[in-house]
């Protein structure tokens, strides 16, 4: 069966078709009002017959970012109605005298408290007041919400009260989307749990409607999760909050695939798109986080550990109040987009790259439309006059500032976590990533950059080869000798649930990965560590693993201190059928450039060469300064850098005279 990987972006919808080891690629303009229309058009253009769609979607993400989700009500334990508004003590603006409050997903008049109480041991100390519940349900029904979230205190220890509330709601409000925190996030911390279940309900009706339309386009489909694995459509309809970072997660999966083909184990992913840049550290394997924020909303479900900054091709350049040059986080987006698209007039990073010769006007997006370089220069005119320098120097300044923002993000996921970036390869992708990768690598001392065969389509590739995954978790709060057997039993129970869930999806067998969140007693945060095998299972082994991870992360540990196991986690995986690609023999011909160009790295231009990536063969060598153009991206090879096409058609770039061994 053919597999079509689809990633929906703001400007383009990307397709990769895997057919008997042959890759077919396609980009079509996105249709934001109904993304399924662009998908239907692309599938028809690929002329696929019997196929499975693997889809990464931004429908839920955009609903949260734009606050266009369902009208949602919240039912919680009386006294906790304002937990969303109170939140945590973390301040977004450390020195802001008047910090702006986050626009919550549930307005005050849609929050309801009911009388009931379960204590921290899971004991019912106040029974649910059914009469009060029925009155509350009537009030909610009169408000006519599209969705309701239920989050009762300590329901992760005993969900009986939440189940009773849900039964009353579904009997009284027909067609209402209902989420239970004991199902969506059975973990402690009432704020994160409530915020997550509210997010699930907020995007639930929209995702259900969208997935229903998608089911009319294709009968066989899997949906990408934020955690880097795919799920069935039915599971996605019940747990849509697990899909909000599916696109970026697909990119990391694709980057891992490309890196490992080339024999690279330690790498940092660098995904630069139109609005933002996503980076992720992969020291031998993809790292997971167990909470993230989207649009200021805390979501406590697993995701690929991605750090995002507001720097992309559409990031707007402007002067701040002190007259200094700033780039982003505001973006021109897809509409109107950069000035060179012909609809806007604001100077952006893409316009700067075009002015500096780093984009080719007639070869953008495979020549689907020409970029207007004069419009880019016009957009920079006022900015350059204010700075008292020429347009090219202004554009160089914009690129350097954007690079500084992205370099800081790369330092955040490496140096700040105890890893030396010089020990890693930078894997660059996204529509804009290959234009900036070498300069960023040089600033960090990274010796090697990998540009995958399809950098602008890598998220679609990652989605198409993602495993089928279920993630399960339970808060346990255990310490001492008895904690090991308790946690082992809970992990086995979660594992059995996962195997049962994946019986119908099994293709290449099913396996599980066990881990725990642990902390020193008294700490307010946890670290995730792998659970030992049966042969190595002991309190001493678990404790030593925690000490080692704590020391790597924070530079110190207390090996005499006792630890507490907070949460047990199980990831159950059914591996995907990943196409095998054979290494190709190197060509004996030299790489031939198709044209010459002028590239700006300083005030005066430098002569460079233009290569067509589709014409490059394995083993062919390129020396900078050069541009490598292809349908989905443009790669900049600065002066002093060289590149070679490896046996899997990945482009490996490194400083001339530097190391080119696999890391």
What pLDDT does 538 receive? 93
Per-residue pLDDT band for 139 (boundaries 50, 70, 90) equals very high
What does CATH list as the number for 468-574? 3.30.1490
SS3 361: coil
Mean pLDDT across 515-529 = 94
Q: How far is CA 657 from the centre of its chain?
A: 35
Instruction: Quote the pLDDT of residue 659.
Output: 54
The per-residue pLDDT for 276 is 85
CATH code: domain 69-203 is 3.40.50
Q: Cα 61 vs. chain centroid, distance in angstroms?
A: 10
- The per-residue pLDDT for 505 is 57
Distance CA 350, CA 348 (A): 5
DSSP 425: E
Alpha helices in 340-448 (DSSP H): 349-355, 373-387, 391-413, 433-444
For the segment 90-119, the average pLDDT, to the nearest whole number, is 86
Task: Report the pLDDT value the prediction gives residue 366, as an integer from 0 to 100.
Answer: 66
Q: Name the nearest CA neighbour of 356 among 316, 327, 390, 404.
A: 390
The model's pLDDT over 199-231, given as tens digits with 9 standing for 90+, comes to: 999 999 999 999 999 988 888 899 999 999 999
Distance CA 450, CA 282 (A): 14
Residue % of the chain over a pLDDT of 70? 97
**C-alpha pair distances (Å), 48 with each of 195, 590, 595:** 41, 36, 36
Q: Does the pLDDT value for residue 648 go beyond 90?
A: yes
What per-residue confidence (pLDDT) applies to 24?
87
261-301 pLDDT tens trace: 999 999 999 999 888 899 999 999 999 998 888 888 999 99
Q: What is the pLDDT of residues 553-568, one digit of tens each?
A: 899 999 999 999 999 9
Q: What is the arithmetic mean of pLDDT over 514-531?
A: 94
Q: What is the pLDDT of residues 594-617, one digit of tens each?
A: 999 999 999 899 999 999 999 999
Lookup: tokens for 32: 């934001």
Task: Look at residue 502 in the predicted model and tell me its pLDDT.
Answer: 81
Q: Residue 504 — very low, low, confident or very high, per pLDDT cuts 50/70/90? A: low
The 10 Å CB-count burial string (b at 16+, else e) for 586-608 is: eeeeebebeeebebbbeeeeeeb
- Look at residues 234, 223, 270 and name the one whose alpha carbon lies nearest to residue 6: 223
Residue 101 has pLDDT above 80, yes or no: no
Task: Using DSSP, state whether 124 is helix, strand or coil.
Answer: strand
Q: What is the mean pLDDT of residues 102-125?
A: 94
Mean pLDDT across 496-509: 75
Closest CA to 527 of 563, 485, 481: 563
Q: What are the tens digits of pLDDT across the range 451-477?
A: 999 999 999 999 999 999 999 999 999
Residue 422 confidence (pLDDT): 96
**Is residue 661 over pLDDT 70?**
no
Give 397's contacts (C-beta < 8 A, 6+ positions apart). 325, 387, 389
Q: Give CA–CA dist 244/236, Å, rounded.
A: 11
Distance CA 106, CA 208 (A): 20
Pairing relation of β-strands 221-224 and 51-56? parallel
* Per-residue confidence (pLDDT) for residue 426, from 0 to 100: 98
pLDDT-derived band at 363 (thresholds 50, 70, 90) equals: confident
Report the pLDDT averaged over residues 613-635.
Answer: 94
Q: Output the average pLDDT for the chain.
A: 91
The tens digit of pLDDT for each residue in 435-450 reads 999 999 999 999 999 9
More confident residue, 38 or 502: 38
CATH of domain 2-64+209-246: 3.30.420.40
What mean pLDDT do residues 151-158 have? 96
Amino acid 508: pLDDT: 60
Rounded CA separation 9/429 (Å): 14
For the chain, domain boundaries:
2-64+209-246, 69-203, 468-574, 595-655
CA distance 525 to 507: 38
Residue 491 has pLDDT above 90, yes or no: yes
Query: Which pLDDT band holds residue 179 (cuts at 50, 70, 90)?
Result: very high
The mean pLDDT of 50-67, rounded to a whole number, is 88
User: How far apart, in whole angstroms, are the C-alpha atoms of residue 169 and residue 395?
Assistant: 58
pLDDT score at 286: 94
Reduce the DSSP state of residue 167 to 3 states and report it.
Answer: helix
pLDDT given for residue 662 in this prediction: 39
21 pLDDT band (50/70/90 cuts)? low
Q: Are 86 and 104 spatial neighbours (Cβ–Cβ below 8 Å)? A: no
Per-residue pLDDT, 625: 96
Range in 37-41, 318-322, 328-332, 624-628 with the lowest mean pLDDT: 328-332
Q: What share of the chain in percent tops pLDDT 90?
A: 71
Q: What angle do CA 443, 447, 453 make, to 5 degrees?
A: 105
């Amino acid at each position: 069966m053919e597999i079509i990987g689809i990633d929906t972006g703001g400007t383009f919808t990307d397709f990769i078709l895997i057919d008997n080891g042959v890759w077919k690629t396609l980009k079509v303009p996105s249709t934001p009002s109904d993304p399924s229309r662009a998908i239907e058009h692309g599938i028809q253009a690929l002329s696929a017959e019997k196929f499975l769609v693997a889809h990464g979607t931004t429908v839920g993400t955009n609903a949260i970012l734009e606050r266009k989700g369902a009208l949602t009500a919240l039912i919680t334990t009386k006294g906790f109605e304002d937990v969303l508004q109170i939140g945590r003590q973390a301040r977004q603006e450390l020195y802001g005298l008047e910090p702006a409050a986050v626009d919550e997903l549930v307005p005050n008049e849609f929050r309801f408290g009911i009388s009931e109480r379960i204590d921290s041991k899971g004991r019912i100390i106040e029974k649910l007041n059914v009469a009060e519940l029925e009155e509350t349900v009537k009030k909610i029904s009169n408000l006519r919400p599209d969705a309701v979230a239920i989050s009762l205190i300590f329901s992760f220890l005993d969900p009986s009260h939440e189940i009773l509330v849900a039964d009353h709601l579904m009997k009284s409000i027909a067609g209402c989307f209902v989420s239970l925190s004991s199902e969506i996030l059975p973990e402690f911390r009432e704020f994160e749990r409530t915020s997550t279940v509210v997010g699930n309900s907020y995007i639930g009706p929209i995702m259900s409607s969208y997935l229903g339309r998608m089911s009319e386009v294709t009968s066989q489909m899997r949906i990408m999760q934020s955690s880097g694995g795919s799920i069935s459509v039915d599971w996605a309809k019940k747990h849509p909050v697990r899909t909000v970072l599916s696109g970026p997660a697909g990119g990391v999966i694709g980057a891992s695939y490309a890196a490992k083909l080339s024999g690279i184990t330690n790498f940092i992913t660098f995904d630069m798109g139109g609005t933002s840049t996503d980076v992720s550290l992969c020291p031998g394997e993809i790292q997971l986080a167990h909470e993230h924020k989207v649009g200021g909303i805390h979501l406590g479900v697993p995701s690929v550990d991605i750090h995002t900054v507001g720097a992309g091709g559409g990031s707007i350049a402007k002067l701040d109040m002190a007259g200094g040059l700033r780039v982003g986080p505001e973006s021109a987006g897809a509409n109107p987009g950069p000035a060179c698209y012909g609809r806007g007039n604001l100077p952006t990073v893409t316009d700067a790259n075009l002015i500096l010769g780093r984009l080719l006007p007639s070869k953008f997006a495979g020549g689907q439309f020409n970029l207007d370089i004069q419009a880019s220069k016009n957009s920079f005119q006022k900015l350059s006059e204010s700075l008292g320098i020429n347009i090219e120097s202004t554009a160089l300044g914009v690129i350097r500032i954007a690079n500084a923002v992205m370099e800081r993000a790369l330092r955040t996921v490496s140096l700040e976590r105890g890893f030396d970036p010089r020990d890693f390869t930078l894997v660059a992708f996204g529509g804009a990533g290959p234009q900036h990768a070498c300069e960023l690598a040089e600033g960090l001392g990274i010796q090697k950059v990998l540009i995958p065969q399809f950098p602008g389509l890598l998220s679609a590739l990652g989605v198409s080869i993602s495993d089928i995954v279920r993630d399960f978790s339970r808060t346990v709060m255990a310490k001492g000798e008895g904690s090991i057997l308790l946690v082992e039993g809970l992990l086995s129970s979660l594992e059995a649930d996962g195997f049962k869930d994946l019986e119908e999806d099994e293709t290449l067998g099913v396996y599980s990965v066990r881990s725990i969140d642990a902390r020193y007693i008294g700490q307010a945060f946890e670290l995730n560590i792998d659970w030992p095998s049966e042969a190595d299972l002991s309190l001493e082994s678990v404790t030593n693993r925690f000490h080692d991870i704590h020391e790597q992360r924070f530079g110190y540990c207390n090996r005499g201190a006792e630890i507490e196991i907070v949460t047990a986690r199980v990831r159950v995986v059914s591996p995907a059928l990943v196409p095998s690609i054979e290494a190709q023999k190197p060509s004996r011909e030299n790489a031939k450039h198709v044209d010459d160009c002028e590239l700006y790295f300083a005030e005066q231009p430098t002569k460079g060469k233009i290569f067509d990536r589709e014409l490059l063969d394995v083993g062919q060598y390129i020396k900078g300064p050069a541009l490598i153009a292809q349908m989905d991206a443009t790669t900049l090879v600065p002066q002093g850098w060289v590149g070679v096409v490896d046996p899997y058609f990945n482009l490996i770039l490194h400083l001339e005279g530097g190391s080119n061994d696999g890391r």
